[in-house]
A and B are shown apart, each in its own frame.
Chain A
Amino acid sequence: GAGVSQSPSNKVTEKGKDVELRCDPISGHTALYWYRQRLGQGLEFLIYFQGNSAPDKSGLPSDRFSAERTGESVSTLTIQRTQQEDSAVYLCASRLGYNEQFFGPGTRLTVL
């Protein structure tokens, strides 16, 4: 019964460094989403995984961003050569079927 978990909860990094964010979805949820919210802006879709289908990467803002998912479990979002504009709260959500999405608590990324 645990919900969606994310780690770390906070990450401060220097410009140019790589970061990896982790999401553990609810067990059995086939769909997994990554979003981000930059200061003063809405939730921005990044990437979507559904089962074994090819992920929908249409929201990734640049080729510095990539994500992987192992089967129907853990996902990692990697940001290479971080820039200050990458500072945001990164949210992960999972979903069963086409119902509501269940969100994790987010990772607050600060790039100095």
Chain B
Amino acid sequence: ILNVEQSPQSLHVQEGDSTNFTCSFPSSNFYALHWYRWETAKSPEALFVMTLNGDEKKKGRISATLNTKEGYSYLYIKGSQPEDSATYLCAFGGTASKLTFGTGTRLQVTL
């Protein structure tokens, strides 16, 4: 059984705060690491797909880094806004085809 862990489980920040979450995954047999954002009552939406050790990806105020040797990825949100409130899921791909999801970090951003 693959262990994909995310921390913290939940987070409550104020508008304008910057924050980050951690995803840890097995450091062997790595193929890809995905990040998804899941807003309440909507479908999970892909943020990043990362495949190379040292990868850094950015989309607007959200960025992510990847360390495959030690088995972790960080997701950063700069200047959080209420619309960033969602559950952020990471998913580890040990093969090209299948992903194992973490339980997510639930972020709530208040005014």
* CB of A56 within 8 Å of the partner chain: yes
Q: Please, what's the 1-or-0 string for B29-71, where 1 marks a CB less than 8 Å from any CB in chain A? A: 0001010100000111110010000000000000000000000
Residues of A within 8 A of B46 (CB): 100-102
> Which residues between 91 and 109 of chain B lie within 8 Å of chain A, taking CB atoms?
91, 96-104
- Top-5 shortest CB links A-B: A100-B46, A42-B103, A43-B101, A103-B43, A103-B44
Give 24 CB contacts A-B under 8 Å: A3-B43, A4-B43, A31-B97, A35-B101, A41-B103, A42-B102, A42-B104, A43-B91, A45-B101, A48-B97, A48-B98, A56-B97, A56-B98, A91-B43, A91-B44, A98-B96, A98-B97, A99-B49, A100-B34, A100-B36, A100-B49, A101-B99, A102-B43, A103-B43
